[in-house]
Structure 1
Amino acid sequence: MTQLVLRPYWFLRHGETDWNARSLSQGRTNVPLNAKGLAQAATAGKAFARHFENEKIAFTHIICSPLDRARVTAEHVQRAISEAGGPHLPLTCNEDILEVSFGEQEGLPMGEWYNPWIAGEYTPKGAEPFADLRERAVRGVNKAIADADPGMALIVAHGGIFRALRSAMGLEPNIRLPNAVPVYAYPENGKWHLKIEGEFEA
């Protein structure tokens, strides 16, 4: 099993979509941000821009999932940092941090099958097993970290990717990250920690 490189990175889940608001499983379905999601993306961008004040550099590269909801969120962050006087950071898409395919569950309400799916006891028909998702997510983030070296990466992706990364970090995986909340992941003494802006706790 591929291990996550012990180097810090930032993570941002995309802004809200109509399917998020209705608690539907999105997976690979390319649902766009809604009005609230666009506002959340702009707010996240402003929050990140503050990390670049006084000539500080929070991260050097933005790597996003190619799905529109993640890519547009990443573009808002890129633009907000630049407009606030920070650098115009490179933004690239990475297929390995594409959201998990939920197969026949896509478009249906989120249910109680997440824990059995994570445990490898159940996979919806046509869906990606959690173990495969975890392997892919770790590969994608490791590549993003390597591409950003000697700087730091911001990963803009999805809730399923976040669960997979939590699992790879030795943390409880089935924790729902709110839309567009910046997360700083960092290793300390061989263990991963998450610093999450706002009221949400890891």
Structure 2
Amino acid sequence: MIIEAGAYPSPLGYGRFPKSVCTSVNECMCHGIPDSRQLQNGDILNIDVTVYLNGYHGDTSKTYLCGDVSDALKRLVKITEECLERGIAVCKDGASFKKIGKRISEHAEKYGYGVVERFVGHGVGTVFHSEPIIYHHRNEEPGRMVEGQTFTIEPILTMGSIECITWPDNWTTLTVDGSSAAQFEHTILITRTGAEILTKY
């Protein structure tokens, strides 16, 4: 579908990733490789899509509810999306990057969720992954946003441990305790007064 639209799926072949999108189910926090496993009623599923079009990459992900999902998982998904929105809301020319992690952490902790520290947002544009690095947890990293920058914000929240394990495929990453995780992501453009979302669904 991506190729038919005139674009190319950025993940395909990137670091030997074998598929065109990432699909992460339940306790898989990110970088799941699509396979033949059938989704079950009550699962949550993150689909992470990056396409290369007209010389630029655009990176986005969303967590979906599969069938009759528990209230606890519905809340995890809802709060994770709200964390992304709150992270974007502090972005503008001259704002410090650490505000993103502060705002996301405050909202996640209010509901008892952990914010995964291992995975970060990143610059994106003519190159798939570049500076700046965007931390989603509280941090004291220096740096300020500049008008014209494009980068992703992509927090992962968990219902339990924020620690993770990666399978031998070097991609599929799960919560170490098997607790569920959710993620949302957008590519944004920093403007003088705020941020424009470039990957609206």
Do both proteins adopt the same fold according to a TM-score greater than 0.5, normalized to the shorter chain?
no
Structure (1/2) with the larger helix percentage: 1
TM-score when scaled to structure 1? 0.28
TM-score when scaled to structure 2? 0.28
Work out which structure has the larger RCO, using CA pairs closer than 8 Å and 6 or more positions apart in sequence: 1
